[in-house]
């Protein structure tokens, strides 16, 4: 059984991420979405909420053979624990590759695990978690970019932030 890991911060999980998971499914038997910690990012959502939102999106899309798990610590250690042969990440553009390349090379250097890149659907390439949150923060419509449950979660989290 070929297991692959799709890692990310997923703050929150978007339809762009879902597209990558669909592509990863077509290349493997089992996909594990790894909700990991990115030391460079301050997240809006706790890791538990990020896991729940990814799970809800994948359930609503009715994708089988996909699990969502929290991945604390080193991603390469998580890959070894779950028996993943490859990491799969999506690319929207050259800037994505610039960001992904050092991580892919580091992961291979420290563990031997190869990262495979898939090209995301061009019609979704404007979707980024950070931009979705920013559009929502300024009152814009984010339906069609994230699952309806995630729309509600973002609105709730931003409203709670404003109250502080």
Q: Which residues are near ligand PNS by CB under 6 A?
A: 7-9, 36-38, 41, 74-75, 103, 106-107
How far, in Å, CA of 16 to CA of 125, rounded?
Answer: 7
42 is catalytic: no
In the complex, the smallest distance separating the C-beta of residue 123 from ligand PNS, rounded to whole angstroms, is 20
d(CA 95, CA 49): 28
- Of 125, 136, 144, 140, which is closest to residue 45 (Cα–Cα)? 136
- Cα distance between residue 109 and residue 120, in whole Å: 26
111 is catalytic: no
The residue among 64 and 142 lying less far from ligand PNS, judged by its C-beta, is 142
Nearer CB in complex with ligand PNS: 103/116: 103
Q: Give least dist CB 9 to ligand PNS, A.
A: 4
Among candidate residues 17, 30, 49, 50, the one labeled active-site is 17
Q: Which of 9, 30, 50, 129 is catalytic?
A: 129
- 17 assigned to active site: yes
Give the span between the Cα atoms of 44 and 154, in whole angstroms: 9
The rounded distance, in Å, linking the Cα atoms of 92 and 1 is 29
List the catalytic residues.
17, 41, 92, 129
């Amino acid at each position: 059984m070929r297991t692959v890991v799709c890692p990310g911060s997923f703050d929150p999980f978007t339809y762009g991420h879902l597209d990558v998971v669909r592509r990863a499914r077509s290349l493997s038997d089992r996909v594990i979405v790894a909700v990991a910690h990115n030391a460079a990012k301050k997240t809006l959502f706790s890791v538990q909420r990020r896991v729940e939102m990814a799970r809800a999106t994948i359930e609503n899309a009715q994708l089988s053979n996909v699990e969502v798990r929290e991945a604390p610590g080193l991603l390469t250690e998580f890959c070894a624990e779950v028996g993943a042969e490859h990491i799969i990440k999506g690319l929207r553009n050259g800037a994505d590759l610039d960001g992904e390349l050092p991580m892919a090379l580091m992961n291979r250097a420290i563990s031997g695990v190869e990262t495979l890149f898939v090209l995301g659907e061009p019609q979704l390439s404007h979707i980024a978690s950070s931009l979705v949150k920013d559009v929502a923060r300024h009152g814009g419509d984010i339906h069609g970019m994230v699952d309806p449950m995630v729309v509600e979660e973002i609105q709730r989290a931003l409203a709670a932030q404003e109250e502080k």
